[in-house]
A and B are shown apart, each in its own frame.
Chain A
Amino acid sequence: MSQALIQIEGLNKWFGQHHVLRDIHLSVQAGQKVVICGPSGSGKSTLIRCLNQLELHQEGSIRFEGRLIEDDAAQRQQLRRQMGMVFQQFNLFGHLSVLQNCVLPQMRVLGLSQAQARERAMQLLERVRIPEQADKFPAQLSGGQQQRVAIARSLCMQPKVMLFDEPTSALDPEMIKEVLDVMTELAESGMTMLCVTHEMGFARRVADSVVFMDQGCLVEQAAPEEFFSKPRSARTRDFLAKIL
């Protein structure tokens, strides 16, 4: 087996006295699509937020491309530009237009010129099928459109991994599909993806591997067919019975 792109070993995290991640082991190969599911409060968001160090873990190790992630601001910044992140609440910059949202980080982080950044931004806005909204402000867009812009903004940084933190949970049912379509297309293009989601249809279609978490523990990891047809743990069966 080739070297894993992401290698998590013995990860532990506490919020105060609350043990939110308990001894997590997980490895992700380049090109792999991993869907993380589980009841709310199970630590799945915290897990992917630890990956790009928006949350700092207390014990265990995370390796990205074989390199150990340490408590170091410069390395953290370097790490984050290689990991795109899409949030549940979109988090587009409210004071900037859609285009500027995509241009600003490219100019500040990648050091591109305005023209280069604009060109790449427009390419990616086209890829998420929203180029005509480039000059609008986030508040003028629907939730689904905002989330697609957020995906484009992340892709502008040419990340090696995309992290999705419940990307469709804040959307109206009509808009979920347009975001999932973009994500499916991204998966087909070969992007490595880690996705926290309750969209089991998406998991079945796209994932190479489904992870089930409960109470901070990684309970089960399996290929989707196996995960959905014959889950090993009782807790997983219980969860699937509730949401399917």
Chain B
Amino acid sequence: MRVLKFGGSSLATPDRIRDVVRIVLDEARREPLIVVVSAFQGITNQLLDSARLAESGDRRYEQEWASIARRHRSAIDDLVGPRRGRRTRVAADALLADLHDALHGVQLLGHCPPRALDVVASFGERLSALIVAAYVHRFRPARFADAREFVITDDQFTRANVIFSRTNRASRRYFAPLLRGRRRVIPIVTGFIGSTVDGRTTTIGRNGSDYTGAIVGAAVGASVIEIWTDVDGVLSADPKAVPAAFVLPQISYEEAMELSYFGAKVLHSAAIAPAVAKGIPLLIKNTFNPAAPGTLISKSTGDQGHPAKGISSVGDLTLLTIRGLTMVGVPGIAERLFRALAARQVNVILISQASSEHTICFAVQTSDAAAAVQAIHDEFRFEFHNRLTAVDEKSGQMILAVVGEGMKGRPGVAGEVFGALGRNNINISAIAQGASERNISCVIDASHQVRALNAIHQAFFETRKSLALVIIGVGNIGGTLLQQLHDQHSYLRAQGFDVKVIGLANSKRYVLSADGIGLARWRETLMASRRRMDARALAGELARLELTNAALVDCTADASIVDAYPAFVDANLHIITPNKRANVLPWRRYSALMDLLRARRKHFLYEANVGAGLPIMSTLRDLIASGDEVAKVEGIFSGTLSYLFNTFDGRTPFSALVKDAHRMGLTEPDPRDDLSGQDVGRKLLILARQMGSQLDIQDVRVDSLVGVDDTAMQRRLERARSRGAVLRYVGVLEGDRARAEMREFPRDHPFAGTKGSDNIIAFTTKRYSRTPLVVQGPGAGADVTAMGVFSDILKLLHYLPQ
């Protein structure tokens, strides 16, 4: 025998009631059922409002009543039909007349005590069960079952306590004849209501229909209690905050209670207690998606390999810390504190005391904070007077709770929680873990709620790695990168990576969408945006999104974007860029940025700064990381100068070659920017800083080719040829000395064999001492530069914790 409970949202309209009844009839084919229903959606609130209006003498209670009457009468007409529904209509009209009289009585006496409120509230379930029973009866024998006949309570109106001994007996007596033999019917039970021993109507608190389901299920020994609601089951986290939240197939009673205590909305822990006591499983199902398997709540946790089952949070808290030397080793301090708080009816949500006993820290609802502080001042007035004790108050806090049976006896779970928060720059104010080890709770700043929930969810539940990108600069390199990301989307997914672009900007405007921007039409999306580009405004907006696993990809050469890097880092973004400007900032600004990145635990990746897509930076980083000693880095770092010297054979003047290269688009808009050698100097500085040097750009000696005439160049070439050598413009980094200059290389030297606009870089190290490690290939162009950025994105994905 099963008990099926349907909530108000499942009974909001006649169409939804039809869906509910379809489910009921389908299940009734298999085994006997008891169905428990709530009031139609919104009706309980309307009833309570009408009672309030009547109490205050406001005649608008009549309108509320009329609206309630209309809704139920129209449901009868719709579901049972005006002719066939005559008897139901008469019964409903009698109930509605009683409701009207009750409200009238309240209005006459100007008073609505809890007792009267329960009477008024009871009509919601009485009407809905009547109508659902009449509709089910069209297809199978069904009967309206008034829970006041068997749910027996005390007289604590509006929150009555169930008297289980009487209720269990009465329920068994009531249902036995209905569920047996050929005269079996489907009882449609009113949720939420009961009655006292002397027959006065009571209600059993909000979520009362779940409670009724559990009470009846436990009394008659149901095989399962199905709670049909409007979600697919118990989720691993609140989906409004954590988009990746998923339905948990199975959890234990204890996990369900811990999750519901910390804000999960599906079940109220008290409501399922009778089922828990009898070991009856509960199945959470979705009326709007009956095919979904739902969540089974039972004795077993049904381990799915996750130590944690869910993450929940309670907001709007204040953390209070009482501290003082007089507390150390003095028995009874905690007892005095909590007695004083209890006397003022302050509910303490979390307690944490350091073993030094110097402080006791506890969290309360912010609405209770003033009363708590007053209670402490009153209780410890002697200590305060003598300045022996102080109390600190920290508002705007929340508790984040990680719940799971699998956390018991499993080392490292707390480390995982705190590590995930730390990586996302979320400070923890207090920590509590119960001895059951089923729950780890920490108090954090409420403004980080979304980021914290996502960080923990990723750490515990998500096997895929996600990364959100904000790309500034959508010209040659940025545009090519977007195309590569679009083309490689399936590949990335297959590798377990979910990469989405959530922000795009050019110099004029930006667009932001936390759900991701479709890359097939990114240009149109950006063009349609009305947000004027302002890097700091964009960073501010990103900070409000409380992102985890996000990166800024700066594909500009714009100094103002670099100026805003700290704001992006503060917004919890890693930085990936081919833009060299940050790496060549004056040492003080550069080191401040590096310190900030370290403090915020953010990665800064810039492979494309040197050699575009060639693995120059990563090779150097790996050499250093593996303990090699780099003696010299030497190379042709400029694609433009590489082309000019590869082509310069004396037959065409050097200046004419520069003009040709400019015409072919191989130079900067002003070729002097290439000929000055400054770009090579900047690359040397980046490499030097990577190697731990504190050089500044003025420390790099750069020989400029600007102003060198054709005759002088011709003479240099001939002199080199006479010695069996070629000319190349190279950068050399040796110890703390960095210089960029034109040099001769013998014809058998690797630098002599370069073609086109190739870059070539040679690393001479302790390990690569006889033959240097050489990296060679095209070092410029949108495709290869974007690929360098792409490789940084992949690197970042690998760095992110699983």
B and A form one assembly? no
